[in-house]
Every structure is written in C-alpha cells, then in structure tokens.
C-alpha cells in the first residue's frame, strides 16, 4: 500500500491538489504496478513562516526576490 506525503507551502488551489493526487497515483500505477485503490496521497500545506531554506523563512526569502 503506497503512501505518499507531499508538503508544499500554502496557496495551491483545490484543482491543483487534485491534479497532484491524480498524477502521483497514475505514476505509481504505471511505474510500480500499484493499485490506485491502495494508493494514499496526503498533501500538507505549510505556512511560509513555518518553512525555511537558504537560511531564511520562505516569507522573508520571497521579499528578497
């Protein structure tokens, strides 16, 4: 039973999340032969001030762009 956890910063639409779930499921079916009804995909949205990289929180990094 595949379990996929996708973590993204907040802001994706419902349609974008649905497309991610479909595409990830389709890939597991195609590449590994997994059954879609046994495939779980969880999307976790993280606040930008709770996600850091390159020494900065994401909201601060975006201000520099």
Indicate the domain borders of the chain. 3-64
For domain 3-64, give the fold. Answer: Macrophage Migration Inhibitory Factor (3.30.429)
pLDDT of residue 65: 79
Record the pTM.
0.85
* Among 2, 8, 59, 61, the one annotated catalytic: 2
pLDDT of residue 8: 97
pLDDT of residue 19: 98
d(C-alpha 10, C-alpha 5), whole Å: 15
d(C-alpha 35, C-alpha 47), whole Å: 32
Q: Which two tokens stand for residue 48?
A: 């930008």
Residues 6+ positions from 36 with CB-CB distance below 8 Å: 25, 26, 28, 29
Active site residue 36: no
pLDDT of residue 21: 98
Write out pLDDT tens, residues 12-63.
Answer: 999 999 999 999 999 999 999 999 999 999 999 999 999 998 899 999 998 9
């Amino acid at each position: 039973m595949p379990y996929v956890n996708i973590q993204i910063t907040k802001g994706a639409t419902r349609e974008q999340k649905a497309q991610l779930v479909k595409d990830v499921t389709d890939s597991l079916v195609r590449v590994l032969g997994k059954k879609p009804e046994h495939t779980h995909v969880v999307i976790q949205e993280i606040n930008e001030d709770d996600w850091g990289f390159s020494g900065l929180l994401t909201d601060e990094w975006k201000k520099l762009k």
